[in-house]
Amino acid sequence: MPWILLFPLLPLFAQAATVAAPAVEARNWLLIDMQSGLTLTEKDADQRAEPASLTKLMTSFLVHQAIKEGRLKLGQEINVSENAWRAEGSRMFLPLNQPAKVSDLLLGMIVQSGNDATIALAEAVAGSEAAFAIQMNAAARKLGMKNSHFVNATGLPAPEHYTTARDLALLTQALIRTFPDDYKHYAVKEFTHNRIRQSNRNRLLWLDPHADGVKTGHTDSAGYCLIASMQRDGRRLLSVVMGAQSDAARARESLKLLNWGYQSFENVKLYAAQQPVKTLRVWRGSDNEVHAGFFGDLFVTVPRGQGGKVSARISYKAPLLAPVAMGQRIGSLHVSADGTSLVDYPLVALGAVPTAGVMKRGLDSMLLMFE
């Protein structure tokens, strides 16, 4: 059945010509406005790359999930295995066969980037690091990370261990939104365990008071990587920089991207959460109508100060037949500026419409013949 364009909405907001992005000294990068979900700039964001310790964000995601589900507890003590104790690379310096609290291991992984803490947590969740990697790949598929594959929990180099800047952005957004109370750990500047104090390698935590995460990574082959996020004036931006030449460069280039995003763009609210954007006719249902809209506030990102020319229109498949489930996609909101398409948002049913009884279904079927 054809898509029917219902009506153009009144002009809302504007986007001017594309804002020139800064030159970034890295192999891959991406900048996203989390409030609107729009990408502001990118380079080779879908190119496979070695994630190094950015991998630990997936490990952290699964550990937080295990804690949320009660399979692991923050105060729980677990023994450090020889496999964890012998971990290469950055370490928390855990003593062999001695207990460590899950809460300490989390900070050791997030703040100190300790591979020993990471492996210990992976073993606590799945029994072994290999079994944990299976869970990592399952979670990646569920999150829509289409170009990622993990073979370990730490990010140590391996031929089949890879991801992309875009996939890492998806993962980080899911981490921030799913575990908002735990996200505060990523802003911790230093952590001391067994009298050994180590600083967070994310320089942005010292350079900008709005920065509150997220994770660094480095190997000789991956280069210097940083996923950074900050919140200013209610807007959260997220940058992914991979393959920079130095620790200083990854911080500098990330801050350059974030500052450009805040200075060059602003967000405008299109619709409030649960606000009916359009009421659609439903056939063969217990109700004749259903409200279409969004469960969360809908924002669009536009160049700063450029208001007045953005418009939106709705499309949906007709006829809309019951049953209609709450949250079911029943149309699209097409946002454009000066005739140039910006983004399509899925319109969902804000309520449910069950199938009607036999008599009403029959009546609607007859009426449809004349529509």
Catalytic residues: 53, 56, 113
308 residue type, one letter: G
Residue with tokens 């249902």: 285
Alpha-carbon distance 73 to 278, whole Å? 45
Q: Are 174 and 143 in contact (CB under 8 A)?
A: yes
Tokens of 304: 């700063």
End-to-end CA distance of the chain: 13
The DSSP annotation for 301-363 comes to EEETT--S-EEEEEEEESSEES-B-TT-EEEEEEEEETTEEEEEEEEEESS-B-B--HHHHHH
Residue ranges in the chain assigned as alpha helix (H): 56-68, 82-85, 102-110, 115-126, 129-143, 165-178, 204-207, 247-264, 358-368
Q: At a CB cut-off of 8 Å and minimum separation 6, what does 91 contact?
A: 112, 114, 115, 116, 117
DSSP class of residue 286 equals S
Phi, psi torsion values for 34, nearest 5 degrees: -70, -25
Cβ-Cβ contacts under 8 Å for 117 (sequence gap 6 or more): 84, 91, 92, 94, 100, 104, 105, 106, 108, 109
Residues 6+ apart with CB under 8 A from 152: 55, 129, 133, 158, 161
**Tokens (6 digits) for 330:** 């029943």
What is the total residue count of the chain? 371
